[in-house]
Structure 1
Amino acid sequence: MKNFPEQFLWGGAISANQSEGAFHEDGKGLSTADLLCKETYGKDEMKLELDPDYYYPCHTAIDFYHTYKEDIQLFSEMGFKCFRLSIPWSRIFPNGDDEQPNEKALRHYDDLFDECHKYGIEPLVTLSHCEMPVALLKKYGGWKNRDMIDIFVRYAKTVFTRYRNKVKYWITFNEINFIFMKGFLYQNGGVILREGDNIKQLQYQVAHNQFVANAKCVKLCHEIIPGSYISAMMEAAIAYQPTCNPADVFKTLSSNQEYTYAYLDVLLKGEYPYYWLNRIEKENLKIDMRPEDLQIIKEGTGDYIPFSYYMSRMPVELDKVDLSDSSGSTIFENPYLETSEWGWSIDPIGLRIVLNDFYTRYGKPLFIVENGLGANDILTEDYKVHDDYRISYLRKHIEQLRLAIDDGVNVLGYTTWGCIDLVSQSTGEMSKRYGYIYVDLNNDGTGTGNRYRKDSFYWYKKVIETNGNDLE
């Protein structure tokens, strides 16, 4: 069997809004993530003002904004080759369209990237990870407005130029296809639903505007940072057909076309597939799609396929799925698979399927930028966390990753999600933990914030030391 490539990028991943905290420090503007609380996760109807009676997890998160040096040192102890993180748009441009960027914020990420390079860790940076400045939502209505395209590109140009000698790997939009999930029209698109809105039309318009913005950013990044890798990121939950009934086969094909392949076709081939355009026409969706947009998309295709993989799914109507309350959801009900505490299917072989499927279709390098198990970890009296269940989950997925590499798939790296415990994007909980490092904080923000190495910390350290050869 083939070994992992010598320069394989092992590491971990977090996002700013789930980890940084410091939501109003050093000139940062209010972001859409700052408005999420227990009552609003998973919803597309939002109030745009903070309520003093509510607790907002992202306001403090795990305080990574202040603890990044200590945390990156822990990542270095594990041997990370790569660290995926995001820059919050509202730190660089507090209102999104300010005349000048926030220099204090730019210096912060200069220092953070320098800290990574100090330990030989390659940063992988996401520009938009489930957040945007609230001021842009109020002024433009979010990504349903095509004015957002050039505003976003200006933000991207600012950070590309600033960090051109520090960051080689970029992601424009996190899980760009999540726009079809309930609650993510707001989180991914910065769009608030109003009574009478045509939801499908809004979803397609947001997707199109982000496609154009992505393509412009790809072209710009190549000009500013020769040799860079950049693309939007996918959530890669392939739908399985429930039976061999031809009706089920076609339903599954249609589900994968709309949720997965249409996005990849635009991002990597630079063109809309016939079925996407046909659906817009058949459903009489009024999408502001201009001829020049199609040329821009054609000229700005991604270099690689960054994607998250947590589970496979069944072909259900995705816009009715609420990931903040997955109990009873038919999206994960596969009788051949176990599920996590939060009802997500556990399907290691599905990762090999996705890797082969994407590489067969598009022939571009792949990068698993999220994979992990959310679990309710217990900190013992002697400050240990015995998370054998997480080790088992990751071991099985890495085994399938290695098999995919043996199949001939070109995989650049593997950064597991939530390498340090953070706030859950789907539920706002701290108790849904993914990390190798336990952060002593509760769902209400109480706790010491102290960091403790879990058993999986030492296991992953060994995996990296042996370049994936020792998974025991």
Structure 2
Amino acid sequence: MKKFPENFWWGAATSGPQSEGRFHKKHANVFDYHYEIDPSAFYDQVGPDTASNFYNDYKNDLQLMKEVGMNSLRTSIQWSRLIDDLEKNTVDQNAVDFYNHVIDAMLEIGLTPVMNLHHFDLPVELYQKYGGWESKKVVELYVGFAEKCFELFGDRVKYWTTHNEPMVVVEGQYLFQFHYPNLVDGKKAVQVAYNLNLASAKAIAKFKAMDLKDAQIGTVLNLTPTYAASESPEDQEAARIAELWNNKMFLEPAIFGHFPSELEELLTRDGVLWETSDEEKAIFKQNTIDFLGVNYYHPNRVKAPDVAPDSVGAWMPDRYYDAYDMPGRRVNLDRGWEIYPQALYDIAINIKENYGNIPWYVSENGMGVSNEERFMNADGMIEDDYRIEFVKEHLTWLHKGIEAGSNCFGYHMWTPIDCWSWLNAYKNRYGFISNNIHTQIKTIKKSGRWFKQVAEQNGWEA
């Protein structure tokens, strides 16, 4: 029997903008707005208006989650829903009531709520007025929103996270054009990365000042381990810089309270370093996380760049490394991502040996598959054996990391119920529970039945 630690979190993660729908929201976030102006950018032109209807169906949805054995759920509080006046940080009482009902319903059935405060869903007005995360004014407004969340819900929510995958905001909005506003501006990207880190530290400062009983705060990072294509010095250097930019940019300020000096030196040399101050440096130092959430889907394999990094042209971080596709790799062809479960062990050991063995959990892991109706049996259940195998392999390597002493306290799948997924909309499905987006009828998949057994036994027969 592969047993996991006592009180292990068995659960899943979703987000407000991907599950709730836009019902009764006063403000649009950047994705709501992007869909308004360009629905053709979204798969099958399906936008976030309905999503999985969690706003109206949360009681039934939570009950289904309990049926698949979950004891915890991470979702998010939408800034664009909760706050009525974005400048004054007054609240919409209907939104307060909704989130109170959701939290109470979770607690009533034994689901530990983990509440995230930012999941790519900046109110678009703050982008249009201030430039979004380019602006420290927006940092301050976010901190006010976070403080309001702590005040309203901190009596019951004991686990908070400041961001989900902040690097995706940097890359999607400012480098690689897969999130609105689709800019390509390396210097802005660097400042946005800094400001997102600053927003997290300042929100943590507010959280700690409130002295909420038995409550903890962390952040959720997509830690994609970097593997060099070879042992050559050139490939190893490419991997070192990729690791600095992709992982340590957010990991080290969160845990150690400062940025990696090597990263600061590189960005200074390239003339793109962020604007900072001694006061802000002190805020970082004094406000580190209590726990870490790690989203892991695939490894990041890199090689030395084909073009010299000092070539003439606009600055981009990937001038120092190129992506490398390892021959013979296993791939989820629907999503295009390599399947490499062993990386969870590598993450576990890295956190243990290099990051003070901080308490951490797998905050997302999963596999998106298209046209899952192909696997539906005569009883209407999707037999997703591929997902069971995927989760089992990843849990096996995670278990090895825990046995080696890594301080991991949970595993959350992405996602409990098939949810809306940004530009991909409903192209690929990730859930333990399927969702017919036309009828909003939700049905537990075979993987959900399997997960229930694992959660109840706190492990499985090897």
Whether TM-score is above 0.5 comes out as yes
Cα pair 2:68 2:448 within 8 Å, conserved: yes
Q: CA RMSD in A?
A: 2.4
Distance 1:245 1:27, change over 3 A: closer
Partner-residue secondary structure (3-state), 2:117: strand
Distance 1:179 1:27, change over 3 A: closer
Q: What whole-Å deviation, never above 9, does each CA across 1:147-170 have from its counterpart, x for those lacking one? A: 111111100000001111211111
Aligned equivalents of 2:61 and 2:234: distance in 1?
Answer: 51
Shift of residue 371, structure 1, vs aligned partner: 0.3
User: Which residue does 2:15 correspond to in 1?
Assistant: 15
Aligned equivalents of 2:40 and 2:338: distance in 1?
Answer: 35
Aligned equivalents of 1:27 and 1:176: distance in 2?
Answer: 23
Matching of residues 258-407 of structure 1 within 5 Å = 258-285=245-272, 287-315=274-302, 331=323, 333-340=325-332, 341-363=334-356, 364-376=358-370, 377-378=372-373, 379-380=376-377, 382-407=379-404
Cα pair 2:17 2:121 within 8 Å, conserved: yes
Mark the runs of 5 or more structure 2 residues left unpaired by the alignment: 306-314
Aligned equivalents of 1:415 and 1:5: distance in 2?
Answer: 15
Partner-residue secondary structure (3-state), 2:228: coil
Aligned equivalents of 2:46 and 2:28: distance in 1?
Answer: 12
User: Which residue does 1:121 correspond to in 2?
Assistant: 111
Q: What whole-Å deviation, never above 9, does each CA across 1:24-56 have from its counterpart, x for those lacking one? A: x3343111121344xxxxxxxxxxx53688845
Aligned equivalents of 2:414 and 2:434: distance in 1?
Answer: 14
Aligned equivalents of 1:397 and 1:306: distance in 2?
Answer: 16
Cα pair 1:440 1:448 within 8 Å, conserved: yes
User: Which residue does 1:245 correspond to in 2?
Assistant: 232
Partner-residue secondary structure (3-state), 1:456: helix
Distance 1:374 1:133, change over 3 A: same
Shift of residue 272, structure 1, vs aligned partner: 1.7
Distance 1:451 1:137, change over 3 A: same
Tell me the amino acid that sits aligned with residue 4 of structure 1: F
Aligned equivalents of 1:211 and 1:131: distance in 2?
Answer: 16
Matching of residues 87-102 of structure 1 within 5 Å = 87-94=77-84, 96-102=86-92
Residue number among 406, 427, 430 corresponding to 2:426 in the alignment: 430
Shift of residue 431, structure 1, vs aligned partner: 2.9
Aligned residues: 440
Distance 1:99 1:220, change over 3 A: closer
Matching of residues 446-465 of structure 1 within 5 Å = 447-465=438-456
Cα pair 1:419 1:436 within 8 Å, conserved: yes
Partner-residue secondary structure (3-state), 1:120: coil
Shift of residue 17, structure 1, vs aligned partner: 1.2
Q: Percent identity?
A: 29
User: Which residue does 1:412 correspond to in 2?
Assistant: 409
Partner-residue secondary structure (3-state), 1:201: helix
Distance 1:466 1:184, change over 3 A: farther
Distance 1:113 1:281, change over 3 A: same
User: Which residue does 1:74 correspond to in 2?
Assistant: 64
Matching of residues 3-152 of structure 1 within 5 Å = 3-21=3-21, 23=22, 25-37=23-35, 50=37, 55-94=45-84, 96-152=86-142
Partner-residue secondary structure (3-state), 1:128: coil
Partner-residue secondary structure (3-state), 1:463: helix
Distance 1:185 1:63, change over 3 A: farther
Q: What whole-Å deviation, never above 9, does each CA across 1:423-449 have from its counterpart, x for those lacking one? A: 123x423130011111012xxxxx212
Partner-residue secondary structure (3-state), 2:300: coil
User: Which residue does 1:174 correspond to in 2?
Assistant: 164
Cα pair 2:330 2:338 within 8 Å, conserved: yes
Cα pair 1:80 1:464 within 8 Å, conserved: yes
Cα pair 1:315 1:331 within 8 Å, conserved: yes
Shift of residue 96, structure 1, vs aligned partner: 2.7
User: Which residue does 1:44 correspond to in 2?
Assistant: none
Range that drifts further, 352-361 or 2-11: 2-11
Partner-residue secondary structure (3-state), 1:158: helix
Shift of residue 177, structure 1, vs aligned partner: 2.3
1:469 is the counterpart of 2:456: no
Shift of residue 315, structure 1, vs aligned partner: 2.1
Cα pair 2:167 2:246 within 8 Å, conserved: yes
Shift of residue 189, structure 1, vs aligned partner: 9.2
Q: What whole-Å deviation, never above 9, does each CA across 1:229-252 have from its counterpart, x for those lacking one? A: 212221111111101111111111
Cα pair 1:142 1:190 within 8 Å, conserved: no
Relative to the length of structure 2, the TM-score reads 0.89
Q: What whole-Å deviation, never above 9, does each CA across 1:343-386 have from its counterpart, x for those lacking one? A: 10101111111111122111211111100010121244531101
Tell me the amino acid that sits aligned with residue 335 of structure 2: W
Tell me the amino acid that sits aligned with residue 132 of structure 1: L
Aligned equivalents of 1:211 and 1:74: distance in 2?
Answer: 35
Q: What whole-Å deviation, never above 9, does each CA across 1:39-79 have from its counterpart, x for those lacking one? A: xxxxxxxxxx5368884521111111111110100111122
User: Which residue does 2:187 correspond to in 1?
Assistant: 201
Relative to the length of structure 1, the TM-score reads 0.88
Shift of residue 337, structure 1, vs aligned partner: 2.6
Tell me the amino acid that sits aligned with residue 393 of structure 2: K
Greater share of strand: 2
